[in-house]
Structure 1
Amino acid sequence: MECTELGVEEDPTIYTESECQELLWRIHHGNRLTGGLKFVTKCYGIVGFLKFLGPYYMVVITRRKVGTICGHEIYSIGKSEMITIPSVIVWPNVAYSRDENRYKRLLCSVDLSKDFFFSYSYNIMRSLQKNVTEKNTGQVVYETMFVWNEFLTRAIRNHLKNTSWTVALVHGFFKQYCLFIIEDHK
């Protein structure tokens, strides 16, 4: 997949909440003749971009906090959603073909809400010992061996030169309990 086919760009400006609302209002107002902006979904991370035979799709997720490691929150996936990215160069008969729909159903059969975990600030791809002894160097490296969606995010990460928009999903098991030790003074 080539990111340039998607036209992915990142605005380097950091907006305040009011500036963001103003920008969205201007975009909506400027496009009101074609329907303006429409709310699609609320999400907390991009799992990746993919293409079968027709248009590109963006897979996004919501989250559920499942624990904390060294003050860093760990999340599982609440739900996932596949959003079609419209394209004028995709033929409608391909975008809605039997094969395209079959591939979409196959992808949707993967239940991302079961046993997939991520963190925005803690590298769950590494052991606790490595995370404690080696300081964070900035950008998270998506290790091919451990990150389930490494390939799905590769093009956007390489194009934007960061991992700000994507989450590294690790498939596995996470359970956290709070323990109290009571000393018996006899």
Structure 2
Amino acid sequence: MAVHDFLKLHITSEKFIIEPISGSVNNPDLLVIDRISQEITLQKNNGQIPASAISKNIYGIVGILRLVAGPYLILVTERKSVGAIAGKHIWNVVKTEVVSYTRSLTHLTETQVALNKRYLSLLDTVLDTENFYFSTTYDLTHTLQRLYNTSSDFQSLALHERADQRFVWNSHVLRELAQQPELSKFCIPIMLGNVSINTSTINNHEVSYILISRRCIYRAGTRFNVRGVDQQGHVANFVETEQILQCEDNICSFVQTRGSIPIFWKQKADLKRLPNPVVLDTDHLSAFQKHFDHQIYTYGRQVIVNLVNQEGPEKCLENTFSQVITSAQNKNIRYEPFDFHKECKKMRWDRLTILLDRLEPDRKQFGYFLQHRNKVNKTQSGVFRTNCVDCLDRTNVVQSLLASLTLHEQCVVGVKMNAFSMVACTVTSDAQTQVLIILVRSQ
């Protein structure tokens, strides 16, 4: 079920009236919020919008947040198109606005006014983050393979109901609207991460290379302050990254994950540039198992690629991690440690081929998702779960190399299947090289 794509907010002294503008329905129902009683209702459009109302265009409702002064309505007031996936538009949130139900702060003490101002400032800081994305027609929170493996009943659900809650960053503030099913078309799930859609036309065929990174809402926090796993198995810095290659009605994807080492550890910030990590003296196995039970259920077999140093301050992380993996004895987990800094010191990036060669049998076995003219020809059976300490630089390098290898394969297989026919006429005996040259030139 799609969400209203374009709306108009009408503000009166007593009510917020939100009117859907886009769509084929004439005089669609209005969302009416009583600013005094705080009641939220869906009403027939019987011309009840007064001419004196202050009106403005909006592109979605982020949700409702209750602060010291009372409830605030959070709205998307400006958006930017980043492209389309399967013909469905994806939007980046550019500007938001926070509108108070109450018209004054006279009911608050000076202390309460100061607190409310502080909370609004924090809220503005969060909302000013550049990497919020949404779609009114496409489920950004699920991979292509997960979407394909769903039932018709699931697909008929509202976007906020069917969304993967790990990646819905406004789920808390949507609750008041979401608890009323009739308001589903006003509820947009918003994802934090990155969506990059690069489209080119090659031999009169439109080709898109898409990269989606979905940041998890659980155990969120800043560098040094949040590390490792919690009792529920959620880890810091967990990101699901999906690489999509799309040509007309043919589409394929490859998924990888990253996340903090799933043991209990901390790295308290101090005056050092890189404070030493400390592994806590506790049982790590239960939380580790919860984390990987969910990983295996969601993605299939796991290959853990651990890039931390195996000597020095990071050694304690590698030692404990490997011990817990051994204790778990899970046949669906394979562990591949690789001391990135030691192996690649003095700019010896070529030595990354040592790691890639070790991972190649798994990459071939996992495969990727490929849908050719609405028929699924391939599915992905497992993922690489990569980590370093921050899950940034070292992880980025290795994930990029794995993604590049799979992209090569997707292009070659696509040409052989005539799925990506735009390059078929230019492919020679060295198919892999030719496809890559064409894709690079198209950027």
- TM normalised by structure 1 equals 0.76
Relative to structure 1, the CA distance from residue 184 to residue 144 in structure 2 (aligned partners, 3 Å threshold; closer, same or farther) is closer
Percent identical pairs in the alignment equals 19
Asked if the contact 2:142/2:164 (under 8 Å) is kept, the reply is: no
Match of 1:47 in 2: 62
In structure 2, the gaps of 5 or more residues are 1-32, 203-421, 429-443
Match of 1:33 in 2: none
Decide which structure has greater strand share. 2
Asked if the contact 1:49/1:152 (under 8 Å) is kept, the reply is: yes
Asked if the contact 2:92/2:133 (under 8 Å) is kept, the reply is: yes
Bigger relative CO (Cα 8 Å, ≥ 6 apart): 1
Q: State the alpha-carbon separation in 2 of the partners of residues 131 and 160 from structure 1.
A: 22
Match of 1:75 in 2: 91
Give structure 1 regions of 4+ aligned residues with deviation exceeding 4 angstroms: none
Match of 2:157 in 1: 138
Paired residue type of 1:63:
R
Asked if the contact 1:54/1:94 (under 8 Å) is kept, the reply is: no
Deviation per residue, 1:126-154 (Å, 9 max, x gap):
11122244342232214431100001001
SS at match of 1:156: helix
Relative to structure 1, the CA distance from residue 64 to residue 37 in structure 2 (aligned partners, 3 Å threshold; closer, same or farther) is same
Match of 2:142 in 1: 126
Match of 2:185 in 1: 164
Alpha-carbon shift at residue 185 of structure 1 (Å): 6.6
Paired residue type of 1:8:
I
Please tell me the root mean square deviation across aligned C-alpha atoms, in Å.
Answer: 2.7
Q: State the alpha-carbon separation in 2 of the partners of residues 44 and 64 from structure 1.
A: 11
Asked if the contact 1:139/1:162 (under 8 Å) is kept, the reply is: no
Match of 1:107 in 2: 123
Greater C-alpha radius of gyration: 2
Aligned length: 166
Which among 192, 198, 219 is matched to residue 177 of structure 1?
Answer: 198
Asked if the contact 1:139/1:163 (under 8 Å) is kept, the reply is: yes
Q: State the alpha-carbon separation in 1 of the partners of residues 182 and 129 from structure 2.
A: 28
Alpha-carbon shift at residue 91 of structure 1 (Å): 5.0
Q: State the alpha-carbon separation in 2 of the partners of residues 167 and 160 from structure 1.
A: 13
Q: State the alpha-carbon separation in 2 of the partners of residues 85 and 160 from structure 1.
A: 23
Deviation per residue, 1:21-62 (Å, 9 max, x gap):
x442xx33xxxxxxx3122x3211000101111121000002
In structure 1, the gaps of 5 or more residues are 29-35
Asked if the contact 1:53/1:94 (under 8 Å) is kept, the reply is: no
